C-alpha cells in the first residue's frame, strides 16, 4: 500500500507512526512503551520527532523538549542492532546510504544482515530512500543492491522528478491498513496535481532508462573524480549518481569547494563539514560530466 504525503519528513513520520501502531496492535507492546532504533549520522528531516534522534546538535539545539522512544546505535553495525533490540522494539529506521551524513556507505552485506535480524526479532525494517531511492543509485531502490525488501520505505524528492512536494510511505497491508480514517493524513497528501506529476515522473524514470543511466554515468563520474590528483581529497565514494568527495579537515571544509564550484556554475552541497556531495540529475550525459569534471578538477587542484 502507498500513503501519500508532501514533504520527505512527513513520509518518515508516517512510517514511524504506522510502526508504533503496529507495535501496539500486532506485536503486543504495552501502551506508550514502543522503541524505535535509529543510527548515528542519520538525516530524516527537520520535524521535532525527526530531530529528536539526530546526532547533529545544530538540528536539535533550541528545539527541545524532544520526542522520546528512540535509541541510537552506530551506522553499519549489525551486531549493535541485535544487541539494542528488546521486547518493546517495533522498528529499525535506516538509510541504505547516508546522504546528508556525508555519503556514508555501510559495509557490504549490512542491509541483508539487518533484514535477517529484523525478521528474527519481529521488528519492522524501515528504510528511508528519500535520497537514495527512485533510481539514484542505479536501482529503483538502493536496498535492491542487496536483494532486500524492507517492511516500510519512505520516498520523496525524486517522486515528483524533484520539483513538487510529493512523498510517500510504502508498506504491506498488514501495517498500513492499521490506520483507520482520521488516524493520520494531510490536507494536500495525495492531491491530484501531485499524483499526476508523480505518475509522470515514475513513467519517465522507467521509460527513458534513467535508472540505467544513473549507474552508467555514475560509474563514469566516480572513476573520473577518483583520478583527480589533489592534496585536499582523502576519499571518493558513492554509488550511481550519489557521490561524495571527502576533503581533509585542514583544507578548510567542504563549503570552500562548493562555493568555488558555484562560481563555475556547478551546484553541489557540502555535507558533514568535509564532504562535497554530487547528486546530478539522472538525465546527465557523458558530455555534461566531462564539462563538470574539468571544472571540479580546477577547483580541487587550486591551493
Ligand X SMILES: Cc1ncc(COP(=O)(O)O)c(C=O)c1O
Q: Which residues bind to ligand X, rule: CB under 6 A?
A: 7-9, 12, 43-45, 95, 99-100, 128, 130-131, 156
243 bridge partner residues: 238, 278
Name the minimum Å distance from CB 106 to ligand X: 14
Nearer to ligand X, 197 or 299 (CB): 197
Nearer to ligand X, 100 or 151 (CB): 100
List residues with catalytic annotation: 43, 128, 157
- Residue of closest CB approach to ligand X: 8
153 bridge partner residues: 127, 170
Nearer to ligand X, 37 or 299 (CB): 37
Nearer to ligand X, 29 or 154 (CB): 154
Name the minimum Å distance from CB 31 to ligand X: 28
Name the minimum Å distance from CB 11 to ligand X: 8
Name the minimum Å distance from CB 96 to ligand X: 9
Amino acid at each position: 500500500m502507498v500513503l501519500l504525503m508532501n514533504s520527505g519528513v512527513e513520509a518518515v513520520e508516517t512510517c514511524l507512526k504506522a510502526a508504533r501502531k503496529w507495535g501496539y496492535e500486532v506485536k503486543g507492546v504495552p501502551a506508550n512503551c514502543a522503541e524505535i532504533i535509529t543510527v548515528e549520522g542519520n538525516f530524516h528531516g527537520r520535524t521535532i520527532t525527526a530531530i529528536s534522534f539526530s546526532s547533529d546538535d545544530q538540528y536539535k539545539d533550541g528545539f527541545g523538549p524532544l520526542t522520546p522512544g528512540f535509541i541510537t546505535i552506530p551506522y553499519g553495525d549489525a551486531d549493535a542492532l541485535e544487541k539494542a533490540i528488546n521486547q518493546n522494539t517495533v522498528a529499525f529506521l535506516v538509510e541504505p546510504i547516508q546522504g546528508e551524513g556525508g555519503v556514508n556507505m555501510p559495509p557490504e552485506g549490512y542491509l541483508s544482515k539487518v533484514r535477517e535480524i529484523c525478521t528474527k526479532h519481529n521488528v519492522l525494517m524501515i528504510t528511508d530512500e528519500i535520497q537514495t531511492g527512485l533510481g539514484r543509485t542505479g536501482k529503483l531502490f538502493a536496498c535492491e543492491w542487496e536483494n532486500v525488501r524492507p517492511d516500510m520505505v519512505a520516498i520523496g524528492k525524486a517522486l515528483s522528478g524533484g520539483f513538487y512536494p510529493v512523498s510517500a510511505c510504502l508498506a504491506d497491508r498488514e501495517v498500513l491498513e492499521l490506520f483507520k480514517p482520521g488516524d493520520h493524513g494531510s490536507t494536500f497528501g495525495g492531491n491530484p496535481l501531485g499524483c499526476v506529476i508523480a505518475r509522470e515522473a515514475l513513467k519517465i524514470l522507467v521509460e527513458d532508462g534513467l535508472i540505467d543511466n544513473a549507474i552508467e554515468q555514475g560509474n563514469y563520474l566516480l572513476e573520473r573524480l577518483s583520478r583527480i590528483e589533489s592534496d585536499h581529497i582523502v576519499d571518493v565514494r558513492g554509488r550511481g549518481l550519489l557521490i561524495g568527495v571527502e576533503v581533509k579537515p585542514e583544507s578548510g571544509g567542504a563549503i570552500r569547494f562548493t562555493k568555488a564550484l558555484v562560481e563555475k556554475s556547478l551546484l553541489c552541497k557540502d555535507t558533514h563539514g568535509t564532504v562535497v556531495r554530487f547528486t546530478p540529475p539522472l538525465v546527465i550525459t557523458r558530455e555534461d560530466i566531462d564539462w563538470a569534471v574539468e571544472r571540479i578538477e580546477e577547483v580541487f587542484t587550486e591551493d
